[in-house]
C-alpha cells in the first residue's frame, strides 16, 4: 500500500498533482525563430530548384517546340527566308548546348523561352548575310534554358556555326573577354572594341551574364567568319559539327 502524504493524513484529500513549470519566454522565442528559419530555408530551396532547374525544363520544351516550327517552315520548299519565328540556329560545340534557336530581340520573353536573341538596341545587330558587320547575340547563362551556361569553355580557335534555311556560316573564335561592365555597349559595335579587331569584317559576338548565378557583369566571346557553305538537300552539317 502506498504511503500517504502529510497533506492526505491531515485533510483526508488526495494531494494535488505537482504543478508543471511554464516554458521560459526566451526558449519560446528561440523555438519560434528556429521554425521560421527552417520554413524560410525550405522556401528558398524550392525557389532555387524552380529558378535553376524547373525554368530550364519549361524553357527547353518551348524552345524545342519553336525550333520545330522553324524547321517545318523551312521544309515548305523554296521561297524567301521567313524570320517571323526565328532566323536560324546557333551551334557552339565547345558549349555542348545543342542547337539554339535565334530570334529577333533580347527581351525577356525571347530569352526566357530558351532561345538566344540578336540585339536591336542599344546597338543594332548586323545579320550573318550582311556583307560587313557584327552579328551580336545574348542568351541566359543560368535558368530559362541556360543556353550560354558554358560560355567559359569557348576558347580561341573554336568553331561557332550559324545555320539558316540555305546557308551555314562558319566562324572562328579569336578573342574572349571574361568580364566587362553590363553597360559596355562598345563590345557590340560593328568593329567590336576590346576584341582586337581593327577593321570592318563579318563578326559574331556572344554575350551573357557573369559570374555564374549573377548578372553583375558580362562575358563576351568574339568570332570572325571564315567561310560559308550552302545547305544541301540532306542538310549535311559542316565538318566543325560532325
Residue numbers annotated as active site: 140, 209
Are 98 and 90 in contact by the 8 Å Cβ rule? The answer is no
User: What's the CA gap between 227 and 194, in Å, rounded?
Assistant: 24
- Cell 558580362: give the residue: 218
Q: Around 190, how many Cα atoms within 13 Å sit in the side-chain half-sphere?
A: 9
Q: Return d(Cα 123, Cα 136) in angstroms, integer.
A: 9
Question: What is the Cα–Cα distance from 159 to 224, expressed in whole angstroms?
Answer: 10
Q: Measuring CA to CA, how many Å separate 241 from each of 44, 94, 100, 139, 161? A: 40, 10, 14, 21, 8
Amino acid at each position: 500500500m502506498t504511503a500517504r502524504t502529510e497533506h492526505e493524513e491531515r485533510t483526508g484529500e488526495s494531494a494535488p498533482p505537482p504543478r508543471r513549470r511554464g516554458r521560459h519566454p526566451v526558449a519560446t522565442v528561440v523555438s519560434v525563430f528556429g521554425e521560421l528559419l527552417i520554413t524560410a530555408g525550405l522556401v528558398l530551396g524550392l525557389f532555387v530548384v524552380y529558378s535553376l532547374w524547373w525554368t530550364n525544363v519549361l524553357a527547353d520544351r518551348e524552345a524545342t517546340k519553336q525550333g520545330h516550327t522553324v524547321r517545318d517552315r523551312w521544309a515548305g520548299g523554296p521561297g524567301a527566308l521567313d524570320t517571323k519565328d526565328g532566323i536560324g540556329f546557333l551551334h557552339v560545340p565547345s558549349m555542348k548546348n545543342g542547337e539554339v534557336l535565334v530570334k529577333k530581340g533580347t527581351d525577356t520573353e525571347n530569352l526566357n523561352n530558351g532561345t538566344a536573341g540578336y540585339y536591336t538596341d542599344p546597338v543594332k545587330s548586323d545579320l550573318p548575310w550582311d556583307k560587313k558587320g557584327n552579328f551580336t547575340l545574348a542568351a541566359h547563362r543560368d535558368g530559362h534554358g541556360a543556353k550560354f551556361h558554358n560560355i567559359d569553355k569557348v576558347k580561341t580557335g573554336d568553331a561557332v556555326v550559324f545555320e539558316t534555311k540555305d546557308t551555314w556560316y562558319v566562324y572562328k573564335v579569336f578573342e574572349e573577354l571574361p568580364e566587362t561592365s553590363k553597360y559596355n555597349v562598345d563590345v557590340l559595335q560593328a568593329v567590336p572594341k576590346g576584341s582586337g579587331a581593327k577593321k570592318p569584317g563579318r563578326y559574331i559576338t556572344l554575350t551573357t551574364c557573369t559570374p555564374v548565378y549573377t548578372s553583375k557583369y558580362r562575358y563576351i566571346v568574339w568570332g570572325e567568319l571564315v567561310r560559308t557553305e550552302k545547305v544541301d538537300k540532306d542538310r549535311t552539317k559542316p565538318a566543325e559539327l560532325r
